[in-house]
Structure 1
Amino acid sequence: MSGAQDQLEIKFRLTDGSDIGPKNFPVAMSVATLKENIIAQWPKEKENGPRTVKDVKLISAGRILENNRTVADCRSPLCDIPGGVMIMHVVIQQPLMEKEKKLPSDLKQNKCVCAIL
């Protein structure tokens, strides 16, 4: 294999339509390492950035990528176009702690409503 075939050019598309990259990554790199790279390159001006790899979901060709897979495993036939850039969509999950903090306040507002017909 030549060096060009050992690398894949990837652009990460954020939910607001902005991009991180494109940048070349080795095809043997794991998806978890890609996520670490996204966290390191996350734009400082954007709020609610990811803190850990678990906060990030990568989607490519309609599939959610698993952390233990490699970049080569995630390639679709469409990205084999010479000079093409593979686009992966980045979704940030809200940490569970923030979701749990909202629940108790919702529970305090429970009201009993009865209707007699």
Structure 2
Amino acid sequence: MAVAESVELKFRLYDGTDIGPNRYAPATTVASLKERLLAQWPAGNENAPRTINDMKLINAGKILENNKTLADSRVVPIGECPDSVITMLVVVQHTLTERPADPHNESRCRCTIL
């Protein structure tokens, strides 16, 4: 991968810390970026994603799709600074696989007969 053809990215987490910067080829998929982020996620972070589906990458106000590449998503340096670092926002949103039991929503009678 030639340096001139690569894109330099860093990822800003919700607590203000960054992962990166690192260089990526324009053919890199968003899913592979997320896998790398998952592997580099800071230890001891209580809101860490469990899978790549728990993460959203936002660039220039757009949520990037897992199956698209950086080139497809138009992630390129803007303006006259082709060697600048692009910062993407990482949002963690856990998917709900099971809902916790609600003790107030059980199917039992709550009537009082006097």
State the TM-score, normalized to the length of structure 1. Answer: 0.79
* Paired amino acid for 1:70: T
Q: Is the 8 A contact 1:57 1:91 kept in 2?
A: yes
Give the structure 2 partner of residue 51 of structure 1: 50
Any runs of at least 4 consecutive aligned residues in structure 1 with deviations exceeding 3 A, and if so which? none
SS state of the match for residue 6, structure 1?
Answer: coil
Give, in angstroms, the shift of residue 97 of structure 1.
Answer: 3.0
- Asked if 1:64 corresponds to 2:32, the answer is no
Give the structure 1 partner of residue 28 of structure 2: 29
Which structure dedicates a bigger proportion of its chain to helix? Answer: 1
**Cα displacement string for residues 6-38 of structure 1 (whole angstroms, at most 9, x for unaligned residues):** 211100000111100001111101000000010
Q: Which runs of 5+ in 1 are unaligned?
A: 113-117
**Cα displacement string for residues 53-82 of structure 1 (whole angstroms, at most 9, x for unaligned residues):** 111100000000001110122215627722
Give the structure 2 partner of residue 107 of structure 1: 105
Give the structure 2 partner of residue 115 of structure 1: none
Give the structure 2 partner of residue 94 of structure 1: 94
